[in-house]
Structure 1
Amino acid sequence: MTLETKAAHSAAIPPLEHKAEATTAASPNAWDPQSAELRDAFGEFLSAFEHFKDANDTRLSQIEKRMSSDVVTSDKVDRINAAMDEQKHRMDELLLKSSRPGRSGVSTGMLSHSALEHKRAWDGYMRKGDAFDLRALEVKALSTQTDPDGGYLVPSETESEIGRVLSEASPIRAIADVRQVSGSSLKKPIATTGAMSGWVGEEETRPETAAPVLSEMEFPTMELYAMPAATQSLLDDSAVNIEEWLASEVQIAFAEQEGTAFVNGDGIRKPRGFLSYDVVDDDTWSWGKLGYVPSGSNGAFATSNPEDALVDLVYSLKSGYRSNANWAMNRSTQSEIRKFKDADGNYLWQPGLVAGQPATLLNFAITEAEDMPDIATDANALAFGDFRRGYLVVDRLGVRTLRDPYTRKPYVLFYTTKRVGGGVQNFEAIKLMKFTAS
């Protein structure tokens, strides 16, 4: 298939436009029109992209005429490219900051009597270390998780807030399937082969068909912890919302650890990342492995028509998964791809239409996962797939906090834990690009 044909096919995929619409609908609060700082940052980002296109067009024109580009022009393209990455990073921080709740807290009128009672008891434990009421409430609720040595369950509102902020900050969690369990693991049956079937005549005998082959996949949860510190004066300040403070403190630590584990985790005391599974050429793919498409060159994209490999990767995924697919890559890989154009001279990478909407590649949303590897020989630096169906994140219900005023006096430590698991649940739904010649 020629590049022109591939580009035409790519532009004609019906789900492509649908994907951009779905992204906007899924993030109604992603852009705050009252945030002048965010609007200015997004405007600068779009302006930088226009300058980038002009500089890169000049570079490509010089290559066509002289077989090489001017050093000054190439340097200009790289500088603008790096500046765009920095501006995007700044917008991400502003968006994450705007996603945090205000300091007013949850209205007590919206809580049930038992929830309000738990909230007050937990607030007393956090501020003063008084665990009597909290311990009595958990015993009264017949909680199987009551354990003073392991901490106490945070109020459900605080747990929900931690989970919501994590969805904003943890890139793979944001696009994966997230399940909550009350036990230590989730077991999921999977049919590796379907029931046999066939065509027969009206009066012919019907031979017995083979039963489907079932196997069981297990996703155990592992303990993830953070230990923010506070001064007693902070805790004594009644104007400080302790729930919001705890959520904002632990989300960074939790998000960084999750981001690494969901991509590269080995499954030992942590979730198993999708890059830790066996990887094979997509032509020889089988269940239990992830298929890859070669980039066309060792440690790089092909010199000629590098965009062909991206189109091949898109079409290596079955159509049923493409409509909800995302790219996953780090900023370095995205900077390289940002220079690619199709046969009609259109850039394959495009910024989001509004701040908070992800950039797209071939009209599929890009998820920036900094734990994805850089482009290098044999590196699987690019992933494409329906992560909602392909990767499963398992959260055990309950976030626990243990107050420790002794270890680092005069600071009070809050040992906060949650249990998280993860792994690939559908090996057809995710494909990789391996940077190799074949």
Structure 2
Amino acid sequence: MTKSATERETKAQTSSADPSSEPIIVASMMEALTAYRDANDERLDALEKRGQADPLLADKLARIDAALDANTDKLNRLSATSQRPHLETASARLERSDHVRAFETYVRAGSTAGLQLKAMESGTDADGGYLVPQEAESTIGDHLTALSPMRSIATVRQVSSTIFRKPVTTEGFDAGWVAENAARPETGSVTLSEIAFPTMELYAMPAATATLLDDAAIDMDVWLAGEVDAAFAEQESFAFVKGNGTTQPLGFLSAPMVDEASWAWNSLGTVSTGVDGDFPASDPSEVLIDLVYALKSTYRQNGTFVMNRSTQASLRKMRDSDGNYIWTPPSAAGVKASLLGFPVVEMEDMDSIGSDTKAIAFGDFRRGYLIVDRIGVRLLRDPYTAKPYVLFYVTKRVGGGIQDFDAIKLLTFSAA
């Protein structure tokens, strides 16, 4: 281990602990990346010369990996903070609608005067709930967009019904060139299919104390949004990846899959690494290139890699046939890391590299995956179940699924 590499590692770890401004975080990340690549080059040289690497090098790479992840998280937090909407305080909101005032009275004291009941089942407020004011609903939606990885790359549509139905073209119209006076032969008809996106119920149940509810300085809309958005985002993130499609949105890893050579509509195409549970030992980056070019050019230009953190850590060590590293860190807040020149989005619910797992996805998720939000967030106040706390049962309806099966491809870590 060279002295310069050790100094870079120490400097990278020290600076990565500094929660400072964006330029310092980026500089720290570049220091960590240089130290990481030096250590990995040393590891690869040892493997080539002696057939095994020093275990200390593996520990060193893991430490620098953690520094890179920490700096990436800091940039992501800076980006999320800048994307969040400005929230008005109670004192700043001088003119409030009747429903907003009635809703805040209901949250604080339980009075239902002036509230419009939006029952989710026919019956009473015990079965349904009260509509959250539009300001709070918009805040929750904006926070979800900032926090949810899938919402940042997929198409999101608001609907007023429980099921959104979308017609899709599985085979297009015929077309061709003809001379000015030539006959126009009849073209083939289009093949249409309909995809249904039912909305499923998502809930959270934050609790409040009597002191909090009595504090007039606290804006209850802002408090409510802050309590539920992280919980909603966590549940959504899992469902959009692995949801079962019955009580949850259909995750793209739960869709039918078939080898890309036999691809047909209603299935996602897969590309195999050729090795069970791993990349090929020789030129491993080539299977990623195969995955990229399994996607048609119309989708590939907007392609994004999706994987979890442990998979991304493995790809940081990977070089192409010319010896160049294929992974590049984010250069600023709001900029994603890239792999082979395409952005990388981290989704912790993706599979890790293992036997027959689908650990990496690549595609145009804007065209490939649709998220459906039913308009309206509802709340039911419960002062009885957990006395002396007051529980707030908050629900929203969300659906999701694949809208274009040709827009997403998966890398399978299997022998065939």
Scaled by the length of structure 2, the TM-score of the pair is: 0.88
1:249 paired to 2:233 = no
In the alignment, which residue of structure 2 is the partner of 1:18?
A: none
Amino acid at match of 1:194: G
State the identity %: 51
Choose which of 28, 52, 55 in structure 2 pairs with 1:71: 55
In the alignment, which residue of structure 1 is the partner of 2:152?
A: 174
In the alignment, which residue of structure 1 is the partner of 2:343?
A: 365
Choose which of 352, 375, 386 in structure 2 pairs with 1:374: 352
Q: Distance in 2 between matches of 1:175 and 1:401?
A: 29
SS in 1 for 2:322: coil
Q: Distance in 2 between matches of 1:276 and 1:203?
A: 52
CA contact (8 A) 1:118 1:134 kept: yes
- Deviation, 1:118, is 2.1
Choose which of 93, 100, 112 in structure 2 pairs with 1:108: 93
Scaled by the length of structure 1, the TM-score of the pair is: 0.84
- Deviation, 1:312, is 1.1
Long gaps (5+) in structure 1: 1-34
Q: Number of matched residues?
A: 395
Post-superposition Cα deviations, 1:30-67, rounded to whole Å, max 9, x if no partner, equal xxxxx836655444333222211111121122223333
Choose which of 314, 317, 324 in structure 1 pairs with 2:302: 324
Choose which of 411, 427, 432 in structure 1 pairs with 2:405: 427
CA contact (8 A) 1:181 1:396 kept: yes
SS in 1 for 2:115: helix
- Deviation, 1:368, is 0.5
Long gaps (5+) in structure 2: 1-18
1:393 paired to 2:371 = yes
Choose which of 133, 150, 163 in structure 2 pairs with 1:185: 163
Moved more, 420-429 or 359-368: 359-368
In the alignment, which residue of structure 1 is the partner of 2:125?
A: 148
In the alignment, which residue of structure 1 is the partner of 2:72?
A: 88
Describe how 1:205-220 pairs up with structure 2 within 5 A.
207-220=185-198
Q: Report the CA distance shift for 1:46/1:200 in structure 2 as closer, same or farther (over 3 A).
A: closer
Post-superposition Cα deviations, 1:312-340, rounded to whole Å, max 9, x if no partner, equal 11111111111211111000000000111
CA contact (8 A) 1:103 1:241 kept: no
- Deviation, 1:437, is 2.4
Amino acid at match of 2:32: A
Moved more, 158-167 or 48-57: 48-57
Which has more helix, going by share of residues? 1
Choose which of 119, 123, 129 in structure 1 pairs with 2:100: 119
Post-superposition Cα deviations, 1:325-372, rounded to whole Å, max 9, x if no partner, equal 111100000000011122333221111111332111112111100000
SS in 2 for 1:301: coil
Amino acid at match of 1:57: D
Moved more, 306-315 or 119-128: 119-128
Describe how 1:164-313 pairs up with structure 2 within 5 A.
164-197=142-175, 207-313=185-291
Moved more, 56-65 or 121-130: 56-65
Q: Report the CA distance shift for 1:100/1:409 in structure 2 as closer, same or farther (over 3 A).
A: farther
CA RMSD of aligned residues (A): 2.5
- Deviation, 1:398, is 0.5
